[in-house]
Amino acid sequence: MTPTTRALVFDFDGTIIDSETPVYESWAETFRFAGAEPIPLERWLQDIGKADGHGIDVRSELCNQIGVDAISAQVETFRKDLCGEMLHSLPLRDGVEHWILAASAAGIPMGVASSSPTSWVSGHIERLGLADRFTTLSCADPGIPGKPDPTVYLTACESLGVAPNEALAIEDSTHGVAAAIAAGMRCIAAPGPITKTMKFGHASVCVDSLSELNPADWL
């Protein structure tokens, strides 16, 4: 028998929207623009989902490669403009809207638990027209540990008024799944193009897209 789900908590980056791909690709293009070799995806993946995003000191790495003390304004502008252009029009990932509508129809409250700051998450939530769908945004703001620490998930569950074992998490990274499991939640893994090679053995199920699952079987 499927356990009762009294709350649904989404990760944000890579789960609600595929922001992981443009962030990595914009940095890769910036390295090439500056005459450097991009950071290999295998290294980048080691820290996806953590509080600091990639965890790598990308600017220092670029400076070391091209032999300068600081990145020029031209290079910074190139990266910022490219990343902004890629992110601005990002749609919801496949299946996300269906799950949100299903949870709303079932009267199940929803939240977001993210290793990104609230300002980043709330801005995109507003852009996507989802502000009225989420009761809480639990984010890794200064002083709050990010994933794989379970704090953002525990805080989300507390805000939603449910015990962690009554909530279902949806994630796209191994660090995110680890955080949800450590919090005592069930977790669906739906990795994106960047995270699809990660291992998700501790998730309840791993799918390429949420559209592969029927929300009624989980909510």
Q: Is 57 a catalytic residue?
A: no
Peptide bond before residue 191 is cis, with ω within 30 degrees of 0? no
Helix (H) or strand (E) holding 76: helix 73-88
Which residues neighbour 200 within 8 Å (Cβ) at sequence distance 6 or greater?
Answer: 174, 177, 189, 191, 206
Segments making up each domain of the chain, as ranges: 7-19+90-217, 20-88
Q: Return the pLDDT at 49.
A: 64
Q: Return the pLDDT at 54.
A: 46
Residue 102 in contact with residue 219, Cβ under 8 Å?
Answer: yes
Look up residue 136 and give its two tokens.
């809480």
Q: Return the pLDDT at 53.
A: 46
Residue 13 in contact with residue 116, Cβ under 8 Å?
Answer: yes
Catalytic residue among 11, 18, 149, 172: 11
**Which DSSP symbol is given to 28?**
H
**Which DSSP symbol is given to 159?**
H
Residue 95 in contact with residue 188, Cβ under 8 Å?
Answer: no
Report the candidate in 153, 191, 150, 157 with the shortest Cα–Cα distance to residue 174: 191
Instruction: Output the tens digit of pLDDT for each of the chain's 219 residues.
Output: 467 899 999 999 999 999 988 989 999 999 999 999 999 998 888 777 666 544 678 899 999 999 999 999 999 999 999 988 888 888 999 999 999 999 999 999 999 999 999 999 999 999 999 999 999 999 999 999 999 999 999 999 999 999 999 999 999 999 999 999 999 999 999 999 999 999 998 999 999 999 999 999 999
Q: Return the pLDDT at 116.
A: 92
pTM for this predicted structure: 0.89
Report angle CA 202, 134, 214 to the nearest 5 degrees. 50
Q: Is 52 a catalytic residue?
A: no
Measured CA to CA, the distance from residue 188 to residue 200 in angstroms comes to 9
- Report, at the CATH architecture level, how domain 7-19+90-217 is classified: 3-Layer(aba) Sandwich (3.40)
